[in-house]
A and B are shown apart, each in its own frame.
Chain A
Amino acid sequence: MTEAAAPVLEIRNLCKSFGALRATDDLSLELRPGEIHALIGPNGAGKSTLIAQIAGALKPDSGTIRFLGRDVTGLGVVARARLGLGRTFQISALAMEHTVLQNAVLGAIGAGGGAYRFFVPALGMPALVARAREALERVGLEDLAAMRTAELSHGQRRQLEMAVALTLKPRAFLLDEPMAGLGADGSRKLTEFLDGLRREAPILLVEHDMDAVFALADRISVLVYGRIIATGSVDEIRAHPEVRRAYLGDGA
């Protein structure tokens, strides 16, 4: 029981400054099993800096990040991905010249640790292809598997980002504005999808789309000027006076 309740991702007293700017200011945050924890905040609040530190792309000045009970503060992006941190990017990061399937297969290669095979065609390895196709199917891209990624629409690229993360079968998802630019229909579909995904692994969701956040989040943390000013359920956050003032505006 206690094992299951332990946080998957645990951030303690994280600090990061750029000169005089405190982009992350004594920040603590937990991602618990089975939850969607949304991180919201106005532009310039330090969300991207925080994501980069969680993913391992940026070293914090102080504080610790624990993932699956293990201190990963000193580990880089590759090591954290291998431990099971699956992320998507705010701006799609895909191999544009490759096909949709090749991008998904890349995820499967990473998940299997088999990047150093030199002679067997990647698309001729049934285990890799099956894993990739399964992920594409889940996001609804299976019919576009043979298409060049550069020819995908913006929304389809976001779906592919999601599919690559799925091939990793991660222990936690770190999703950086997955709804950005999706349109109403796309957002609704993705919201439904993420709703089910939390049962596989908890999701730390950075998102501007408030409808999605309020529909999905088990808990919400509000980031302002590098500090988390409130963490709580949807209702608590809606009612929080400081949050209303700082972020949501009076109409919310």
Chain B
Amino acid sequence: MRRERLINAALLLALLAVPLWAWAADEPFTITLATRVAILALAGVGLNIALGLGGLVSLGHAIFFGIGGYAMGILASHAQDHAPLLESPLLIEGTKSMPVIWLVAVIASALAALVIGVLSLRTSGVYFIMITLAFGQMFFFFAVSWPAYGGEDGLSIYVRNEFPGLNTLDPIQFFALCFALLAGALLLNARLARAPFGLALSAARQNEARVQSVGIDSFRLRLVAFTISGAITGLAGALFADLNRFVSPAMFSWQTSGEIMIFVILGGVGRLFGPVAGAALFILLEHFLGGLSEYWHVFLGLLLLGVVLFARGGLIGTLAGREVAHD
């Protein structure tokens, strides 16, 4: 446990140190890579609450990632076109303000997770995977066929959105925002895992009958967890769209769901910093192997196979050893 904490601290410091070094050395591309890691790790933290803590194998988290992305795209595109979203009965205008966009992204993805959770959490195992996948495909095709917001081509935003007091066009400042949100989500996850809610949720993953028989409704536990999980992944989606200044139906695709899951599995399912390690490894592989060969996914596949077969605890598990029960 102490070793895992050291590794976590080292990871967090590295994620902070690399872009700071790049900033000093004037390497903006490296800062962008680190920003991607922070954002994708945030998406993974969201999934890890459902998957690691709750045992909910969701292959539909792209839904929330995409909703966050489109929340940003829709609000910002209306703001840049000076066209209100809605005029009657009340005036709703677009916005370029990140805090407002984040809030909308979080609320919209939490609501989507709540509804999808109600409909899918009655099932488990393979059926749950298939239902979440099916919902993901629904959102994907809906986005493709929605001409008002770019349809298949997606939506471009010309200038990155604004945050009071910061210049978000400066890569290091935008990175700082993403890093702060990631740190906040990790803190929330850590608190959640130790709180009565996390204890009950994790017990429900291990033995549902046990939780039910002490009078705790496991369906409700999972629904709340799924909603929190979706909200965090939605926030990551809004940041991701802002990083690229672009949002497209690809954010809703099942490949996106798969990639978010890969971060979690590579890093270590249920490990607090699993998504951070996984996202960092993914981006490093994409950057270095992708530079060598466009078929780098083959290596990613082999690595994933290796982790699933030989290192169930992922990167963190391999480095920190088997998890010892806390306290």
A residues within 8 Å of B by Cβ? 55, 57, 76-79, 81-82, 87, 89, 93-99, 102-103, 105-107, 109-111, 113-125, 128, 146, 148, 164, 167-168
Q: For A95, give its contact among B210, B215, B324 (CB under 8 Å).
A: B210
A116 touches B197 (CB 8 A): yes
Which of B76-84, B201-209, B232-240, B273-281 lies at the binding interface? B201-209
B residues within 8 Å of A by Cβ? 191-192, 194-200, 202-203, 206-207, 209-217, 221, 224, 323-327
With A117-B195, A122-B196 as contacts: A164 and B215 at CB distance below 8 Å:
no
Q: How far is the CA of A168 from the CA of B212 in the complex (A)?
A: 12
A107 touches B214 (CB 8 A): yes
With A94-B207, A98-B206, A109-B216 as contacts: A115 and B197 at CB distance below 8 Å:
yes
Q: How far is the CA of A113 from the CA of B214 in the complex (A)?
A: 10
B195 touches A111 (CB 8 A): no
Q: For A113, give its contact among B192, B195, B207, B215 (CB under 8 Å).
A: B215
B325 touches A102 (CB 8 A): yes
B195 touches A110 (CB 8 A): no
Q: For B207, give its contact among A81, A96, A115 (CB under 8 Å).
A: A96
A164 touches B203 (CB 8 A): no
A168 touches B214 (CB 8 A): yes
By a CB distance below 8 angstroms, the chain B residues around A102 are: 199, 203, 325
Interface of B is mostly: helix
Which one of A105, A118, A164 has the greatest number of beta carbons of chain B within 10 Å? A118
B213 touches A55 (CB 8 A): yes
Q: Closest Cβ of chain B: how far from A102's Cβ, in Å? A: 6
B196 touches A117 (CB 8 A): yes
By a CB distance below 8 angstroms, the chain B residues around A95 are: 202-203, 206-207, 210
Complex A-B, nearest 3 residue pairs according to Cβ-Cβ distance, in ascending order = A110-B214, A81-B215, A95-B203
With A98-B325, A109-B196 as contacts: A93 and B215 at CB distance below 8 Å:
no
Q: How far is the CA of A57 from the CA of B209 in the complex (A)?
A: 9
By a CB distance below 8 angstroms, the chain A residues around B196 are: 105, 109, 114-117, 120, 122, 125, 128
